[in-house]
Structure 1
Amino acid sequence: MDFSTYKTEIEKDGFTIIPNVFSENDVNTIVSYINEVNTSSETFRKSANLFAIRQFLKEVPKVKRELFNNNLKSIVSSIFGEDYFVVKSIYFDKPEESNWFVSYHQDLTISVNTKSDIEGYSSWTVKQGQFAVQPPINVLENIYTIRIHLDNTTEENGVLKVVPQSHNKEIYRPETIDWNTETETICNVDKGGIMIMKPLLLHSSSRTTNNKRRRVIHIEFSNKELPQEIHWAEKLSIN
């Protein structure tokens, strides 16, 4: 399959949507593996508005074969590059009656194995036992995110809204968005489809209003090696 159009869209606008990457059976199998997991680990976050699993591929290892099918492998190698590997994975489940929303932001941190005093690496935090840090801009510009949709997702159940081309403006503070010049795009994605985006793309999501859940697997990829003092927390080859 020719992915050149999708690659062009990502480079220009910071995102693209590819339908039918996973079949109905693929999605059902993935969901069944998630449902088997013991949710008592510290990497799990559960509330009335959100269920999330950090270090998803470590917590649900059985899912790897279904996720990294030939379709997804071809997408990664054709659009990102042959040398790209996984660096972060999260599962999000937005329940049917969730009033949780996320305002416009960029994804400015990476997950690493330890904390260290390194020039250019700042804003250290720990989330569910995992270190996060804001790296230099060239590290963020190199990352691609794939969002695998396990449900039909629209504006009514928390689909992403984005500001096209905002990924080209490096650190872009949401409070400085000029809506006289910027536009907003709603990224509807059908079940089994994926959205690819650059982490520096401004994005947000709304509350759920249609009583339908929204389950998404978020996987980040890079081909950069980090300074020798730290390592990617979830580095994983997909081949």
Structure 2
Amino acid sequence: MNLPQHFFDLGYSTVSELWSRQEVRRISAIWENCLAGTSIHADRQLSLKYPDLFQAFQEVGLWDWVASQIGDSYRLVKSLYMDKPDQANWAVNWHQDLYGVVSGTVPKDWRLGKPKDGLCYVQLPDEYLSDQRTLRIHLDECGPSQGGLQVIEGSHANGVLDVPTQKRWIERKFQLVTGAEGSAC
């Protein structure tokens, strides 16, 4: 695994140039083609709905880069899209990403979540959550007003937080993670 130590200490790291301007333009053009005639600002099923986009990710080396960072035994479990322009922005409160999509029989000790977009979500056990990694790719500038990611450094290392503990963590200072076109965190 090639992730920097501060990733494990803080819970995140940034990559200032995951893709070149030309690669971003290529991915953006494919994505705009996928969205033609829609007004979508968020989608939870990218990998299912837009296979051309994921093929383009392969062609610009995304999956090879991921494997170089976390090893080649990874698998994609969720793919989200959010476009948060000033005129279509929405607030997302601080939260822990605790839920994953499952199909088939759900173990009895797993907590069911709310169905979304026809998918069954469950709260994943700690052993699954601690192995998850999230990659956020910026196809355009992502500043504070376009939904920069607010991170509470170190909160990831404490497992699933109960409500009183969450309130104590939220009182701490957030680190706002923004990014330039082609960057990732």
- Band of TM-score, shorter chain: 0.7 to 0.9
- Deviation for aligned residue 1:60: 1.2
TM-score where L is the length of structure 1: 0.68
| Matched length | 182
Tell me the equivalent position of 2:113.
124
Structure 2 residue runs without a partner (length 5+) = none
Query: What RMSD, in angstroms, separates the aligned Cα atoms of the two structures?
Result: 2.4
Match of 1:158 in 2: 147
Give the whole-Å Cα distance in 1 for the aligned partners of 2:64 and 2:159: 28
Please give the alpha-carbon distance, in whole angstroms, between the structure 2 residues aligned to 1:105 and 1:191: 25
Gaps of 5+ in 1: 196-239
- The structure whose residues are more often helix, as a share, is 2
Return the match for 1:175 from 163, 167, 177: 167
Per the alignment, residue 59 of structure 1 pairs with 49
Contact 1:57–1:89, Cα closer than 8 Å, also in 2: yes
Alignment of 1:219-234 (within 5 A): none
Give, as a single letter, the amino acid of the residue that structure 1 aligns with 2:102. Answer: V
CA shift, 1:75, in A, is 3.4
Alignment match, 1:17:
14
Query: TM-score scaled by structure 2?
Result: 0.86
| 2:168 alignment partner AA | T
Give, in whole Å, the separation in 1 of the partners of 2:30 and 2:167: 40
Call closer, same or farther: CA 1:55–1:99 in 2, change over 3 Å: closer
The 2-side partners of 1:61 and 1:178 are apart by 38
Match for residue 215 of structure 1?
none
CA contact 2:19–2:182 (8 Å) conserved in 1 = yes
Do the aligned residues in 2 keep the contact of 1:14 with 1:167 (CA within 8 Å)?
yes
Residue 20 of structure 2 is aligned to residue 31 of structure 1 = no
What is aligned with 1:108?
98
Pick from 68, 72, 75: which aligns with 2:62? 72
Tell me whether 1:142 sits opposite 2:131 in the alignment: yes
Shift of 1:119: 3.1
Distance 2:180 2:133 in 1: 20
Q: Would the aligned equivalents of 1:21 and 1:71 in 2 still touch at CA under 8 Å?
A: no
Quote the Cα distance in structure 2 between the aligned partners of 1:122 and 1:110.
11
Distance, in Å, in 2 between the alignment partners of 1:143 and 1:178 is: 22
Q: Report if aligned partners of 1:147, 1:194 keep a CA contact under 8 Å in 2.
A: yes
In the alignment, which residue of structure 2 is the partner of 1:211? none
Identify, as 1 or 2, the structure richer in strand: 1
Corresponding letter in the other structure for 2:12: F
Could you tell me how far apart the structure 2 residues matched to 1:74 and 1:28 are? 20
CA contact (8 A) 2:14 2:184 kept: yes
Q: Secondary structure at the match of 1:110?
A: strand
Change beyond 3 A, Cα 1:154–1:98: same
